[in-house]
Amino acid sequence: MISVTELRKGVTFELDGELYRVLDYQHHKPGRGNAVIRTRLRNLRSGATIDRTFQSGDRVQDVRLDHRTVQYLYNDGEFYHFMDVETYEQPILSADVLGDAAKYLVDGLNVELISYENEPIEVELPVTVDMRVTETEAAIKGDTATGATKDAVTETGLVVKVPLFVAEGDVIRVDTRTGEYLTRV
């Protein structure tokens, strides 16, 4: 058990039989009375986000999460197939577990699979991913003076705002935290 005053952004804990990750944390001490901890939590099994307020003396159950490196292999239309780089086991995850991370999965990408009691709960992507542009508009001469951008569709279907000089077939680096274009590779 840990005190709620030890909660910080990114901490995972168990409450009422559900796993939660802290998305936002505020410690508020009013002039009189006990301190209040306001949190925004994401349920790791359902993906729902809730706001929860704790009193300073409350305690929650801490959990031990298992991290292992897996390599993305392919998507069969319904499930995403991975391979553990150490044991060569092949875990299969649904799109519900992956959430938005599925848009960044390219063949051969190594990710961290996070599981709790042998139940996969999420994947942690690297900070950047290199992706091939499959579709984009052609740039018009003279448009570059304004720093304009255009939409580009990557090999996974992710739509990214890119500078006008990026063409189809180019490989671009995308920030997985924000979904923004970083550079052409």
> What residue segments make up the domains of the chain, in order of their start?
2-62, 66-124, 128-184
CA–CA gap between residue 167 and residue 180 (Å, rounded): 17
| pTM score of the predicted model | 0.76
pLDDT at 30: 82
Tokens of 137: 């508009």
For residue 36, the surrounding DSSP H or E stretch is strand 36-43
Beta strands, E only, 49-127: 49-55, 59-62, 66-75, 79-84, 92-94, 110-116, 119-124
CATH number of 128-184: 2.40.50.140
Cα 72 to its chain centre, rounded Å, is 15
Could you tell me the fold of the domain covering 66-124? OB fold (Dihydrolipoamide Acetyltransferase, E2P) (2.40.50)
pLDDT digits (tens, 9 = 90+) for 6-46: 888 888 898 888 888 898 989 888 888 788 989 999 888 77
Which residues are CB-neighbours of 102 under 8 A, at least 6 positions away? 75, 80, 95, 156
CA–CA gap between residue 54 and residue 134 (Å, rounded): 48
- Output the average pLDDT for the chain: 88
CA–CA gap between residue 181 and residue 160 (Å, rounded): 6
CB atoms within 10 A of CB 130: 15
Q: Judge whether residue 142 has pLDDT over 90.
A: no
Q: Which CATH number fits domain 2-62: 3.40.50.150, 2.30.30.30, 1.10.357.10, 3.40.50.2300?
A: 2.30.30.30
- Mean pLDDT to the nearest integer, 138-149: 69
Q: Please, which pLDDT band fits residue 144 given cuts at 50, 70 and 90?
A: low
Shared fold status for 2-62 and 66-124: no
β-strand partners of 174: 129, 181
pLDDT at 143: 58
Residue 161 carries which DSSP code? E
pLDDT at 183: 92
